[in-house]
Structure 1
Amino acid sequence: MFSSRSVGDDRERVPSAPPEALAEEVTGLRAEAQIAALEVTEWPVYGSLAWLRLSPRDPRCYAATLEAAERYRRAEADRVRHEWLMDHDPEVWWREAIGGADAIAARLGRALAARRTVGEIRAARHRSQVSVPRPLRATPGWPPVAVPGQPGRYLTAGGEGG
């Protein structure tokens, strides 16, 4: 199995590349150039059943392997960089780790604030089940009905009494 440790400094310059190019940048370009040289435009995902069915001599097999290796190299480089930041510059690490979380939280917060709470839903359900007040009427044969909020005022079956 291959080791994830490199023998030299990954930030060394590559003699055959422009002087400002880093080894990691040249590696990515080289992988892309090798895949382009294979003259294939599509290939299955490395390790998939379709990839396993390819002949080892099929250029698509090599393209998928190169793509997987390059993806791994980039993911490993990101992991190493984030570990370094965590140890040496926690503020930058934190900003990168949470990324756009503030914007996402603000968007979700607005969406959640627009929703009714459980209490509001229950109160609305309760209000819908409460009967609407009916007009006050006196029933024949019954005593007069006091009008709420108006002391001394009564309704009788024949009309209003006072």
Structure 2
Amino acid sequence: MTEADVFDIAGLWAEAKSLFFANDFPPYASPAWLALHPDDPRRLAGALDAAEKWRKFGDEESLLQWLRDAAGRRFTAEGKTASELAEARKPKPPHVLQATPGWPPIRIPGGNGRYLIYTDERREAA
């Protein structure tokens, strides 16, 4: 049991009840569970265990469908040659900083306090 489980009152109750009724019980709705007498405490322990798993993990069929969908997804690298993948891994040129009108000055990274300031070339040319 993890530290976070200490605050899960419903989970603690279900686990305690399951263990109170039986230490060893078959999975809910399995052939062994169905073969138990209706008043057998292991039957209730199996049902409590199944209900708690449902509460924590949800619908098993939804989980299986999600796994099927994930297995069918294509990856970005599929269908590309080794040379295409090598080309995609090459570093790209850095972005060129450019000041724009209406925006404050841009501090130049590694520029020791220098700023890039927008100047209107048309105004200077006139």
TM-score, scaled relative to structure 1 = 0.31
TM-score, scaled relative to structure 2 = 0.40
Identify the structure with bigger relative contact order (alpha carbons < 8 Å, sequence gap 6+): 2
Q: Which has the larger radius of gyration?
A: 1
